[in-house]
Structure 1
Amino acid sequence: MNTFLLAREWGQESNASFRRQLLQHRLQTMTLAQNKTIKRRHGAGLLGSVNALSIDNTTHQFMISGGANSSINVWNFESLDLNETKNTVMDTYNAIPARSSHKFGITDLHWFPFDNGIFTSSSFDHTLKVWDAATLQEAYSFNIGDIVYSHAWSPIASHCLIAAAYRSSSIRLCDMQSGSYTHSLIGHTGNVLSVSWCPKNDYVLASGSADGTVRLWDIRKASASFACLDVHNKTKPTEQAGRSHYGTVNGLAWTDDGSFLVSCGTDDRIRVWDMETGLNTLRDFGPVIHNQTTSFAVHPHIITPVKNANTYVLFPNDDGSLALINLLEGSFVHRLSTHVLKRINCVAHRPGKEQCFTGDMSGNILMWCPKPLNVPLEATAVENRRNVLQEVYESLTNVEVTYQ
């Protein structure tokens, strides 16, 4: 970083390049925020676990959290933004109490991609619900028929379909406009745990299953998936004969440009797939992933700090650590952890503010942020420094000069 700063001082690097390098450096130095505390609002004990987090996609001002006790809390970041350098305790902005709507624990939460007035929740009680964020009143409820492990909105589509992964080998598509189901996608041979929409094609959906496969679907077709990804690249994706992980595939995420798909599984591996060819890029991140969850989906969080910057993955681990990985270089960057954490269930990143939030089995929601570039001196420290400089100055000016 010092070499880069020197090059910038000599005008050898552009402003855009300097900003990109600075943001990447700050991301790599992320640590637990010492002066920010988020109150526990999801109960105590095993039912106090925080299972899901989501930050709204439009203003990045609100966050929702879902607990094992079935409660949902809405958080407003205003108090954090107004007191960036002061000790701050953030409390819930609004809440849906436990057992008032969902009967059992929350498995997944998502804001509507184009408006922070709507969000969705899924639960172990077999339902997927749509909420009015302003009133916290239920707008729709879909009875999926079994445990809903995860669900997903398309970030670009004009259709209002929600893909639901539940305890079944099929994927159910729920239509917000009609309030009913459209059809199911059938092709997996094990329970489907994770689903994720392509950010560049309205109708392409990826899914991961307990059968160890990652499949791609065109939802306009009622036939089987059009691709199945093979870890060894021995079969073409269209041959539908590959195996993607040696365990349950419980997490999926696309890069923003749709060029790569990231999958994770209970084989403690993260795989990066080239979506132009459908081939495994064979990135190996080493023994940094600890992932044995089969009760709900794990969401690897992809971050690109600024255009043309490196792409990173934040991955919540079973051992209570948060792994930061350089996606395309295939390298491990940093491990964020504390000694008091149990398993991290979920992670959310707040764009523009360089803040990260995690929810764990202990019921904690913790905030992580980059180390400050410089720490402001307290008034007493400034005064002490001034006094020392004054003493040095006086000792130099009061020396009697003699000539020989």
Structure 2
Amino acid sequence: MLREDFSDLPELQLWGFKPSDVNLGTVKNLEKVRLGQLSSWRYRSHVKTCLAASHTLSDVTLEEKEQFPNAFVTHADLECVDFRYLLCGLSSGGVAIYDTSSIKKGRTFSEVASVKGCRRGSHKYQVDCVQWYPADTGLFVTSSQDKKVKIWDPNHMKPVDQFSIDCHILHHHMSPVAFKHSLLSVAGDTGEVILCDLRSGSSTHHLQGHDGAVQVTQWSPRNQYILLSGGRDHTVRVWDVRAGHACLRALDMNNSPPESSRFKKKMKKIPEAHKSRVTSLCFTHDGSWLLSFSYDGDLKLWNTDTWKNMNIDYGETYTELKKNLRMAVSYYTYPNLVFIPCKSKIVVYEILSGKMVNVLKGHFSSVLGVVYNPLSMNLHSFGTDRSFITWIPKKLLVSDLSDEEEEEEETISTARKTSCSAKTKQQATQDAWSSDED
């Protein structure tokens, strides 16, 4: 059960919410929690969802150093241990780490460490993808069009190893749940998914099947051996890295009956997941759902148990970029939300219903990606306008309450006004000079 001071919700303490805050609609819901009519987890998730759907523009940005006068953020990743350190890949080929829990006087996130572009050890071209090591902050990985994947030691900000790939690298990813392997998936423009072993320092094998460049790869958060890839051939493929015939299936947007026997014999026509190139893949936190996004602005939801298209209508979403876009999903909220870059805006949808709940406007050109912090519920976005924006949740307004709660608040307000009016009238007509003794 929730306590009256919200001591078990540090996010609400941060924003100064109180149980008596009528604007949050907690008067009715907290009473239901205390009576056992409403799950405290459901209430907590509902409050977090409301906060995550109410982001607004803030003035907090990254600390700018003189050594990065022309560099801007091209990709970013937040470590999943303390949700504190933000890793940024720069257009100059360098990298920088920021502490999002420390805001300096100039309303900037303090810089922890950085490597200038064109410096020995940095990438030759802009950094296209960065990722923290999922288990801790002892390593991070970067990749670029210079055909190199670098493994870095953040304590010394020096690369400790690197993989030289014989193709242009478009994306890479490490499994968030792997404990029996340390494979890194690399998406190449030759149509192959290259698996690199961080322990041995060599590429183990190549997954072949895509007709054209592989745009993005994503490991499953539920199974350490399941890998997904999306390519320019409009397909999303599911791989089992243990199997001899690694490709298990290709997702079908039409949910056609499976033809496993034909698929094993190299089907003439592979099912397509989208009508255009796939530019982004993202799992929900529990791995129950997969979201895929394509260049034509089509967002699809897939059930990871059956790999069926759920046919959710998310409305019209547009993009101007053929390169990979980073979308984000909210953690521990009900319902879950997805944040999609849409030209110069960020559109927020409820994942299961497809309802649009917010549109964030602040960039002047195309947004490259967004990063969601589940601890502070802040949202970070970066784009081609060379700007980095932090979005913060705001307190809810009365209009954010449900219809029943609004009617209840109106009834209470009307009753209070009537009572005050009657009391004032009674005081005005009362004979203050009369005495009971008379």
The reply to whether TM is greater than 0.5 is: yes
What secondary structure, in the 3-state scheme, does the structure 1 residue paired with 2:167 have?
Answer: coil
State yes or no: 1:265 paired with 2:294.
yes
- The 1:372–1:207 alpha-carbon spacing in structure 2 relative to 1, beyond 3 Å, is same
Q: C-alpha distance in 1, partners of 2:223/2:332?
A: 23
Q: TM-score, normalised by structure 1?
A: 0.85
Among candidates 354, 357, 366, match of residue 330 of structure 1? 354
Among candidates 343, 368, 373, match of residue 345 of structure 1? 368
Q: C-alpha distance in 2, partners of 1:2/1:126?
A: 51
Among candidates 106, 130, 155, match of residue 134 of structure 1? 155
Which position in structure 2 is the counterpart of 1:55? Answer: 78
Mapping 1:172-187, distance limit 5 Å: 172-187=194-209
The answer as to whether partners of 1:33 and 1:369 remain within 8 angstroms in 2 is yes
Mapping 1:88-237, distance limit 5 Å: 88-100=107-119, 101-158=122-179, 159-236=181-258
CA deviations 1:109-168 (Å, max 9, x no partner) are 000000111100010111111000111110111111222111000011121100000211
Which position in structure 1 is the counterpart of 2:95? Answer: 72
Q: Which moved more, 1:151-160 or 1:358-367?
A: 358-367
Q: C-alpha distance in 1, partners of 2:159/2:56?
A: 37
What secondary structure, in the 3-state scheme, does the structure 2 residue paired with 1:92 have?
Answer: strand
Deviation at 1:2, TM superposition (A): 6.1
Q: C-alpha distance in 1, partners of 2:309/2:239?
A: 18
Deviation at 1:200, TM superposition (A): 1.1
CA deviations 1:205-250 (Å, max 9, x no partner) are 0000000000000111242511001111124274463111111111
What secondary structure, in the 3-state scheme, does the structure 1 residue paired with 2:111 have?
Answer: coil
- Unaligned ranges ≥5, structure 2: 1-22, 398-426
Between the two proteins, what is the percent identity of the paired residues?
Answer: 25
What secondary structure, in the 3-state scheme, does the structure 2 residue paired with 1:69 have?
Answer: coil
Among candidates 323, 344, 347, match of residue 320 of structure 1? 344
Q: Which moved more, 1:211-220 or 1:361-370?
A: 361-370
The answer as to whether partners of 1:272 and 1:283 remain within 8 angstroms in 2 is yes
The answer as to whether partners of 1:52 and 1:108 remain within 8 angstroms in 2 is yes
Which position in structure 1 is the counterpart of 2:380? Answer: 357
Deviation at 1:92, TM superposition (A): 2.0
Which position in structure 2 is the counterpart of 1:303? Answer: 330
What secondary structure, in the 3-state scheme, does the structure 1 residue paired with 2:38 have?
Answer: coil
Q: C-alpha distance in 1, partners of 2:247/2:68?
A: 41
Deviation at 1:15, TM superposition (A): 3.0
Q: C-alpha distance in 2, partners of 1:218/1:237?
A: 18
Q: C-alpha distance in 2, partners of 1:236/1:330?
A: 27
- The 1:373–1:191 alpha-carbon spacing in structure 2 relative to 1, beyond 3 Å, is same
- The 1:87–1:176 alpha-carbon spacing in structure 2 relative to 1, beyond 3 Å, is same
Which position in structure 1 is the counterpart of 2:311? Answer: 282
Q: C-alpha distance in 2, partners of 1:72/1:245?
A: 33
What secondary structure, in the 3-state scheme, does the structure 2 residue paired with 1:341 have?
Answer: coil
1:131 counterpart letter in structure 2: W
CA deviations 1:11-55 (Å, max 9, x no partner) are 443433322221111111111124x2323459566xx44210111
- The 1:247–1:7 alpha-carbon spacing in structure 2 relative to 1, beyond 3 Å, is same
Which position in structure 2 is the counterpart of 1:381? Answer: none
Q: C-alpha distance in 2, partners of 1:40/1:213?
A: 40
State yes or no: 1:15 paired with 2:40.
yes
Which position in structure 1 is the counterpart of 2:322? Answer: 294
Deviation at 1:373, TM superposition (A): 6.2
- Unaligned ranges ≥5, structure 1: 375-395
Deviation at 1:302, TM superposition (A): 1.7
The answer as to whether partners of 1:187 and 1:224 remain within 8 angstroms in 2 is no
1:305 counterpart letter in structure 2: Y
- The 1:77–1:257 alpha-carbon spacing in structure 2 relative to 1, beyond 3 Å, is closer
The answer as to whether partners of 2:331 and 2:374 remain within 8 angstroms in 1 is no
The answer as to whether partners of 1:237 and 1:278 remain within 8 angstroms in 2 is no
Q: C-alpha distance in 2, partners of 1:270/1:78?
A: 32
What secondary structure, in the 3-state scheme, does the structure 1 residue paired with 2:52 have?
Answer: helix
CA deviations 1:264-298 (Å, max 9, x no partner) are 111210111112222110011011x2224333x22
Q: C-alpha distance in 1, partners of 2:116/2:194?
A: 28
Deviation at 1:401, TM superposition (A): 5.1
- The 1:44–1:137 alpha-carbon spacing in structure 2 relative to 1, beyond 3 Å, is closer
The answer as to whether partners of 1:8 and 1:14 remain within 8 angstroms in 2 is no
The answer as to whether partners of 1:355 and 1:367 remain within 8 angstroms in 2 is yes
Greater Rg, structure 1 or structure 2?
2
The answer as to whether partners of 1:230 and 1:236 remain within 8 angstroms in 2 is no
Q: C-alpha distance in 1, partners of 2:145/2:383?
A: 18
Which position in structure 2 is the counterpart of 1:368? Answer: 391
In the TM superposition, structure 1's runs of 4+ consecutive aligned residues that sit over 6 Å from their partners are none
Deviation at 1:299, TM superposition (A): 2.2
Which position in structure 2 is the counterpart of 1:379? Answer: none
CA deviations 1:352-390 (Å, max 9, x no partner) are 11111111112221111111469xxxxxxxxxxxxxxxx
Q: TM-score, normalised by structure 2?
A: 0.79
- The 1:91–1:121 alpha-carbon spacing in structure 2 relative to 1, beyond 3 Å, is same
Deviation at 1:341, TM superposition (A): 2.7
Which position in structure 1 is the counterpart of 2:276? Answer: 247
